[in-house]
Structure 1
Amino acid sequence: MTPVSWSVFALSFLIIPVIWVLIDRSPTLVAAFGGRKPAVGPAVEDFEVLVPIYGSVTYLENVQYLRQYGDRVLLCTTNGESPEFYRELAAIADQYGFRIFRAAAVAGGIGADGKRATSGAARDMLVREALEHQVRAPYVVCIDADSITDQPFGVLVGMLAANGYDFASVPLVPTNTRSVLARLQAYEYRSAMKLRLIAPWQVSGACHVARAEAHREVMRRHSLFFQGNDVEAGLLAKALGYRVGHLPFAVRTAVPDTLKSWYRQRLAWSGGEFRLFVMNLHLLARHPFFWIYGAIVTTVGLPFRWITLATGGWALLAIFTLHAIATVIVHWRVRSPMLALLPLYSLFNSLVMTPLGAVWYVRMAIADRNAGFIRTARPRVPATA
């Protein structure tokens, strides 16, 4: 081969993949060693807790945890549930002093398979309607029906107030980590939570905290597209000029522990990522690094990754070596033999779930007649607490 041919070969099959890995892992590496420690203030008890629940009362798994908050808990449900569901929910509310908000404008949130829908507007409409018509406290905590915390919510709200934040993300910690699949997700979650140190707007629907007025303004502008709905809320809060931060307040949540449930969740998540990173490229100017990573590296770079995998050789070895080194560095404190499988787990997500996510996004958008476009208003500086 001529020198030119060797240069083309090296650029196509070695240099580009190596750069790809460095770009892929750099946010996690930077986040692992950075971040400002938030202030801790006195507990604030003037808040309400929103818990979306529909489909089946059995989804409400954190009842015993929520009982400590009594009438500050607002169980938010749709207007399309069965009489049996309403009776069971009312019995729980009566026993523990919870309140129930039945949104007349929300018809239901159950998919054709009888399970809670992985698309649709039900969940976000419930939160929006509750904020508009029921919430009167100055602060609000949104939490899923299967999540719990180690510390009381008063501590979380106090931290929000002490740091002058209007909207905040929190770290999620998987609780069920006995299976191999669940343990791999635990490492995945740990990396994702570290990224929030430098991108706090990546809030999670499993739990987040906000000033009620800020959350109300955000939901008034929300697209109501379910997948990626939580990150959209954080993006809108940031675009509206609210102060968005990340608070070290651990929230324990369950992760899928079977291949079927994991695949169902990740297929929907991949569709949400395609919606955020590709269909909302106009947000590139606000968060260029993350949107270049999501739209260019992850999506546009997909054919290059497949080519590299097919050709094998030194390029593939270099990729796995760099990926393994970065993985061990990030997870050094909690290292285990399971880390050897993490590059393969990430590879499957990258090569298989990314293209499937694009297809799933189209399916969700057509079914819900909602493309999920995020329309940001002109930035402003609202009054803080």
Structure 2
Amino acid sequence: MSQRGDNTASIELVPQSAGGGLVQLQRHEYRLAMGLRYLLRLGYRMTVPSTFSSWWRQRLAWAGGEFRLYVVNIRFGRWHPYFWIYGTVFLFAFFFLRWAAILQPGWSLLAAGVMYFGMVYAVHWKHRNRWLLRLPFYPLVTSLILLPLGAGWYFAMSIPEKNFGLIRFRRPRYGPAAAGQSRMTAPAEA
């Protein structure tokens, strides 16, 4: 990436420590997400929603954004296939399989639950508290309830604003890409 002139940084989000159960669940969630980033780390203290209604609105907006990114702008899948396979297939298409697994539980669901609880405890062992037992149910609500509501939320946000969130490429005004060459294929200087 540095050869192309790109810079990458990961901002570590640190939720507030004081708060009820919803705040504690989000602290575990953000710790897990931030632990997966191994780039330049910059710390940023943030306040997470502390009431159910503010958390619900935030997560509906996020789910609407995921629908916009993965489904409305699916045409970018050919340039970023793994990203779009995750978003369109694993998040949205497998939504029905997740519900089927819940409605007709079997040994595989039990095994997945035990493995997930084990992973959650292994990752958060140093920061364990009573809310850690509830953490596996947190993404379950997100993937089974909030994700499908996100599609409706997307339309509820985009129709009144007349902004459907289609991502458009902008042509560069200067540099190799403006001359018809991408940065990746520009000829080397002799």
Unaligned 5+ runs, structure 1 = 1-163, 198-245
Q: Deviations over 1:145-183 (max 9, x none)?
A: xxxxxxxxxxxxxxxxxxx75463411100144211001
Specify the alignment match of 2:46 in structure 1: 253
- After the TM superposition, which residues 26-45 of structure 1 pair with which residues of structure 2 at under 5 Å, given as runs? none
Q: Letter of the 2:32 partner, please give it.
A: S
Q: Letter of the 1:288 partner, please give it.
A: P
Specify the alignment match of 2:12 in structure 1: 171
Q: 1:266 aligns with which of 40, 59, 66?
A: 59
State how far apart, in whole Å, the 1-side matches of 2:123 and 2:78 are. 28
Partner SS for 1:257:
coil
Partner SS for 1:172:
strand
Specify the alignment match of 2:126 in structure 1: 333
Q: Deviations over 1:40-74 (max 9, x none)?
A: xxxxxxxxxxxxxxxxxxxxxxxxxxxxxxxxxxx
Partner SS for 2:32:
helix
Larger helix fraction of residues: 2
Specify the alignment match of 1:187 in structure 2: 28
Specify the alignment match of 1:5 in structure 2: none
- After the TM superposition, which residues 41-60 of structure 1 pair with which residues of structure 2 at under 5 Å, given as runs? none
* TM-score, normalising length: structure 1: 0.41
8 Å contact from structure 2 (residues 9, 41) kept in 1: no
- After the TM superposition, which residues 17-96 of structure 1 pair with which residues of structure 2 at under 5 Å, given as runs? none
* TM-score, normalising length: structure 2: 0.80
8 Å contact from structure 2 (residues 8, 40) kept in 1: no
Q: Which has the larger radius of gyration?
A: 1
Cα deviation for residue 192 of structure 1 reads 2.3
Specify the alignment match of 2:136 in structure 1: 343
| Residues 353 and 259 of structure 1: CA distance in aligned 2, closer, same or farther (over 3 Å) | same
8 Å contact from structure 1 (residues 176, 254) kept in 2: no
Q: Letter of the 1:331 partner, please give it.
A: H
Does residue 154 of structure 2 align to residue 313 of structure 1? no
Unaligned 5+ runs, structure 2 = 172-176, 184-190
State how far apart, in whole Å, the 2-side matches of 1:183 and 1:286 are. 38
- After the TM superposition, which residues 1-385 of structure 1 pair with which residues of structure 2 at under 5 Å, given as runs? 166=7, 168-197=9-38, 246-377=39-170, 380-381=182-183
Q: Letter of the 1:249 partner, please give it.
A: L
| Residues 377 and 322 of structure 1: CA distance in aligned 2, closer, same or farther (over 3 Å) | farther
Which structure has the higher relative contact order (CA within 8 Å, separation 6+)? Answer: 2
Q: Letter of the 1:170 partner, please give it.
A: I
State how far apart, in whole Å, the 2-side matches of 1:264 and 1:194 are. 25
State how far apart, in whole Å, the 2-side matches of 1:374 and 1:315 are. 39
State how far apart, in whole Å, the 1-side matches of 2:125 and 2:144 are. 26
Q: Letter of the 1:193 partner, please give it.
A: M
State how far apart, in whole Å, the 2-side matches of 1:356 and 1:289 are. 24
8 Å contact from structure 1 (residues 306, 351) kept in 2: yes
Q: Letter of the 1:370 partner, please give it.
A: N
Q: Deviations over 1:67-124 (max 9, x none)?
A: xxxxxxxxxxxxxxxxxxxxxxxxxxxxxxxxxxxxxxxxxxxxxxxxxxxxxxxxxx
* Identical aligned residues as a percent: 44
